[in-house]
Structure formats: C-alpha cells, structure tokens
Structure 1
C-alpha cells in the first residue's frame, strides 16, 4: 500500500525496537517467512466491512477481528486474512495489529492514484500507525513531508 512508502520516506524510527517498513504488495502467503521473523507486526491493508463506507478506517488486533471485517476487495490472490490464519495455525504468528481501510473498487483500468476518500483516510491511518509505534516506545522523527498523492504514482518503483 502507498502508506507504507509514505512512512518510509517521511519518517525515521529509532529506539529500543527495530522498525522495518515493508511494502508487501500482493505477496500474501509469500510474506509468511517475513512475518514469522518479527516479534510484532502491523499490517496496513484494504479491508471490507459489512455496511462500511469507502474510506472508513479500522484498527484492531488480529486476535480480535471484528465480525464485520473481511479482506474481500483486497488485491491479494490469497487474502491477507488467510495468510495470517495459515501462519497462526503453524504456531508462528507474532502479535499482529491491523490498520485497514475500505477501498474504492476500481474497474478494469489499473491506477496508482487513490480515491479522494482513501487519500483522506490515509491521514488517519498514518496517525494511527505513528501513535501506536510511539505507545510501543519507538521514537519518531519526521524527515520529509511528502503527501500520499505524491507517493502513490511512484509506489510501484519502491522506496
């Protein structure tokens, strides 16, 4: 998701915990070895929520997924929910927090830009991630001020 690239570009993370920001793209189950190598994981992804509106943001523990949440509408071939469940079944899943947004479903045209609702929601998601990292003792320094609209068209190149 573009937000992971925004976090990489705009912030430096220091303190007692190592923070790696990784754009997992649509790798889903290929992320299992990476997920299991960490003590704690924050997943930023698109979610679907029964009755939810485009741009609504959710923040929850994987151990306590609200009943209305599914990952339908995600770009993953194997949904992230199933990937986390497979990892959990093997007993290798670290604690996981999810920051999810209901996306605007695009048609057959592929685009890197975000809908207005999701671009606005990314500000809320950014604050949630940063606040949670600070609660975990991570020191955060802002090093740039790129917007999500500046990052999105270049996300496919990686940062």
Structure 2
C-alpha cells in the first residue's frame, strides 16, 4: 500500500549504476542530487535503481515517459555527454560496460513484451573514464554531473513538469 496521495506517477527518472565502480555510479549520483536539491510534481518519480535490473519492472507499469541516467560507452572522451531517444537506447546498450547494463537491456525488452513500454524514452549518459573499484567519480565525469542534472530538468520541463529548488 502506498502512502503517497495524489495522481500516480506517469514519469520516471531512473538512475542506474554501481556506486563502488567509480564512473559507473554516475546515474545514481545524478538522481541523488535531484532528490536532494529539487521537489517534483506528484506525477514525476525519481528512482535510484542501482543495479536492480529486472526488479525495476513493476515500477514501469503506468509510466508514459522514462528518463534513464547512466554511464554509456560512446567511444568518445571520458566525460562526453549523450542524449539518446527511442530506438537509439537499446543500440547504445549493445556495448556493455558493466554488469547492470545487460539488466537494463533485458528490463526494456521484457517491459515491451508485457505491454508496459513507456511511450517516450530518453537516455542521458556520460562516457566513463574508469569503472574499476572506487567510490569516487573521475574528474572528467564529476565535471559533467551538474550538466546531466540540467539535461534531466530540461527534459522534464519540455514535457511540462517543472521542478522547484528545495
């Protein structure tokens, strides 16, 4: 039973990654920053998905728009930001940089098979510099954290959902 009143969330901002694998944790750190610094309308849900993979599937039911925030292998220099949409997202996940990405690809596939695929999806990602064991982001990726948050906020605003600074 949910204690949340008001309309059910229809927008999900999902940060994924592993906080003990350096830059792989950037998606989680971005959504943590969002939840600490902003308030969102009740229809927007901000989720730290960590490395949950298919365990996130129930959270996609009823979601119309999805923003995934993650480290993504782009072939570019560390810290390179990317914004991918729709069919570009599964293609970007073909080059697996960490164990959870297979989970994300599986999650999107199973969600589609179950008829719970969001109508609109955006992946906001950054090229990692290091995914070895470390709890700190590399300087190149750390420098992009605020830009990633700004991209998420911009995406939400384009969809008509403004965040309020806390």
Q: What TM-score do the two structures reach when normalised by structure 2?
A: 0.73
- For the 8 Å contact 2:30–2:149, the answer to whether it is kept is yes
- Residue 11 (1) aligns with residue 11 (2): no
What 5-or-longer segments of structure 1 have no aligned partner?
144-159
Report the RMSD for the aligned CA atoms in angstroms. 2.1
Q: Distance in 1 between matches of 2:104 and 2:91?
A: 16
Q: Distance in 2 between matches of 1:130 and 1:32?
A: 24
Label 1:92 to 1:67 Cα distance change in 2 as closer, same or farther (>3 A): closer
What 5-or-longer segments of structure 2 have no aligned partner?
1-27
SS at match of 2:43: coil
Q: Which ranges of 4 or more aligned residues in structure 1 deviate by more than 2 Å?
A: 62-71, 104-107
Where relative contact order (Cα < 8 A, 6+ residues apart) is larger, the structure is 1
List aligned pairs for 1:74-153, cutoff 5 A.
74-76=98-100, 78-94=102-118, 95-107=120-132, 110-143=133-166
Count of aligned positions? 138
- For the 8 Å contact 2:39–2:165, the answer to whether it is kept is yes
